[in-house]
């Protein structure tokens, strides 16, 4: 019998097995990708652009938005490229009338029922597929007030496309906190905390990992939301700088987004080995002390007052 210690050593060793490669054709071009890759991976290897909304490289694919569909020769229906794995000899078409029409309809239905005004790249996507959401009229079912129940982030579910990314990030893909989930069925399906309690009463630990993956801005840091409300948010003049989070020994990489000399957002790179885009409350939100707008004298007076009142 193998000893547990030896088993651990074997598990820790990188596999020396050669990767099995799968060859397929995408838009007439041959490509070879490791077994288990998705059609989307093959398209990315060829530099072919595929629109995605519910997919992210750091999350398990849930394939719910269907904007990434492609045609596979011999398949009865279009397939979601983000989750369909490649097979040897597969022949894929990423653009034709059928694919384009499906993407157009998906975009039109989403844009007629949800506010996509803060979804990056959405206006280009709508133009590319000649999508006319007004054909479907305006759907009132998702219109609702923004939830502002804490000082760190807001939830604007009028912008939610039910992509499940936040649920995955808060759940077993990353955070394992399970503070949010999909509640209701059919037209009533929506993202909610347990028993729809507000965030401070929920299991949320304010890591903000859900904000980091939300593709539409339905989840947004309070600072960004306040600045947008005041007409001050301007990504075109923002710079970003990578640094190391000073709060603990893990040393997560922080990307600080700066506008007009002030930090306005903190993220972490998706391709970072340790964080895979995630942070904790301190890294995500704990930078406000850098620019309180107070003088050093005022800050030390505040600290003295705080310590005497404890
Ligand atoms: S902030 Fe973190 S814990 Fe709270 S809902 Fe988002 S992912 Fe879950
Ligand atoms: S809140 Fe954002 S991440 Fe969560 S399901 Fe809605 S759109 Fe997706
Ligand atoms: S990106 Fe593939 S189904 Fe949403």
User: Which range scores top for mean pLDDT: 11-15, 21-25, 133-137, 272-276?
Assistant: 21-25
Q: What is the pLDDT of residues 251-262, one digit of tens each?
A: 999 999 999 999
pLDDT at 298 over 70: no
C-beta of 285 in contact with ligand 1 (< 6 A): no
User: In the chain, count of helices (H) and strands (E)?
Assistant: 9, 12
C-beta of 220 in contact with ligand 2 (< 6 A): no
C-beta of 57 in contact with ligand 3 (< 6 A): no
Which of 54-58, 93-97, 153-157, 299-303 shows the lowest mean pLDDT across its residues? Answer: 299-303
Q: From residue 185, how far is each of 99, 191, 218, 262 by CA, in Å?
A: 28, 11, 20, 43
**Confidence band (pLDDT; 50, 70, 90) for 17?**
confident
Closest atom of ligand 2 relative to the 180 alpha carbon? 4
Res 306: pLDDT: 44
Considering only CA atoms, which residue is closest to atom 6 of ligand 2? 160
Res 297: pLDDT: 53
Q: Of 234, 232, 283, whose CA–CA distance to 255 is shortest? A: 283
Res 291: pLDDT: 78
> Half-sphere exposure of 93 toward its Cβ, with a 13 Å CA cutoff?
12
Closest atom of ligand 2 relative to the 54 alpha carbon? 8
Q: What is the pLDDT of residues 180-189, one digit of tens each?
A: 999 999 889 9
pLDDT at 309 over 60: no
Report the topology of domain 153-290.
N-terminal domain of TfIIb (2.20.25)
C-beta of 192 in contact with ligand 3 (< 6 A): no
Share of the chain above pLDDT 90, in %: 82
User: Residue range 156-163: average pLDDT?
Assistant: 96
Res 310: pLDDT: 33
Supply 2's token pair: 């193998």
Q: What is the pLDDT of residues 196-241, one digit of tens each?
A: 999 999 999 999 999 999 999 999 999 999 999 999 999 999 999 9
C-beta of 218 in contact with ligand 2 (< 6 A): yes
Closest atom of ligand 3 relative to the 65 alpha carbon? 4
DSSP H helices in 23-151 = 39-46, 97-113, 122-128
pLDDT at 5 over 70: no
Res 83: pLDDT: 97
Domain 21-95 has CATH 3.40.630.30: no
Domain boundaries, the chain: 21-95, 101-136, 153-290
C-beta of 59 in contact with ligand 3 (< 6 A): no
Which ligand has an atom closest to residue 166 CA?
2
C-beta of 277 in contact with ligand 1 (< 6 A): no
C-beta of 170 in contact with ligand 1 (< 6 A): yes
Share of the chain above pLDDT 70, in %: 87
User: Residue range 8-34: average pLDDT?
Assistant: 81
Res 170: pLDDT: 98
Pocket test for ligand 1, best of 56, 179, 276 (most atoms within 8 A of CB): 179
Res 6: pLDDT: 43
Considering only CA atoms, which residue is closest to atom 5 of ligand 2? 162
Closest atom of ligand 3 relative to the 83 alpha carbon? 2
DSSP 152-181: SEEE-GGG-----HHHHHHTTTTT----EE
Q: Of 55, 78, 77, whose CA–CA distance to 65 is shortest? A: 55
83 conformational bin, left if phi > 0, alpha if psi -120 to 50, beta if neither: alpha
Task: Kindly report the backbone phi and psi dihedral angles of residue 139, in degrees, each rounded to the nearest multiple of 5, phi listed first.
Answer: -95, 130
Res 290: pLDDT: 86
Report yes or no on whether pTM surpasses 0.75. yes
């Amino acid at each position: 019998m193998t000893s547990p210690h030896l088993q651990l050593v074997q598990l820790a060793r990188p596999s020396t097995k050669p990767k099995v490669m799968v060859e397929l054709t995408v838009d007439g071009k041959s490509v070879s990708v490791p077994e288990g890759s998705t059609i989307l991976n093959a398209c990315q290897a060829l530099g072919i652009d595929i629109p995605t909304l519910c997919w992210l490289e750091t999350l398990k694919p849930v394939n719910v938005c269907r904007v990434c569909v492609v045609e596979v020769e011999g398949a009865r229906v279009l397939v979601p490229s983000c989750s369909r794995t490649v097979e040897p000899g597969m022949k894929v078409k990423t653009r034709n009338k059928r694919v384009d029409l499906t993407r157009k309809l998906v975009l039109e239905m989403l844009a007629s029922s949800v506010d996509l005004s803060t979804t990056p790249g959405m206006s280009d996507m709508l133009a590319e597929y000649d999508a006319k959401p007004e054909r479907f009229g305006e759907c009132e079912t998702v219109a609702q007030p923004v939830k502002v129940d804490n000082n760190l982030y807001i939830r604007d579910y009028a912008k939610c496309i039910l992509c499940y990314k936040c649920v995955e990030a808060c759940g077993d893909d990353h955070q394992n906190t399970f503070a949010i989930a999909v509640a209701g069925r059919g037209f009533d399906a929506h993202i909610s905390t347990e028993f729809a309690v507000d965030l401070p009463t929920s299991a949320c630990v304010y890591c903000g990992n859900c904000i980091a993956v939300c593709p539409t801005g339905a989840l947004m840091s309070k600072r960004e939301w306040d600045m947008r409300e005041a007409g001050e948010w301007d990504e075109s003049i923002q710079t970003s700088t990578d640094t190391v989070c000073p709060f603990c020994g893990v040393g997560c990489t922080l990307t600080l987004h700066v506008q007009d000399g002030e930090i306005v957002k903190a993220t972490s790179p998706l391709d970072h080995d340790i964080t895979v885009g995630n942070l904790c409350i301190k890294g995500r939100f704990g930078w406000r002390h850098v620019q309180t707008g107070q003088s050093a004298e005022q800050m030390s007076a505040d600290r003295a007052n705080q310590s005497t009142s404890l």
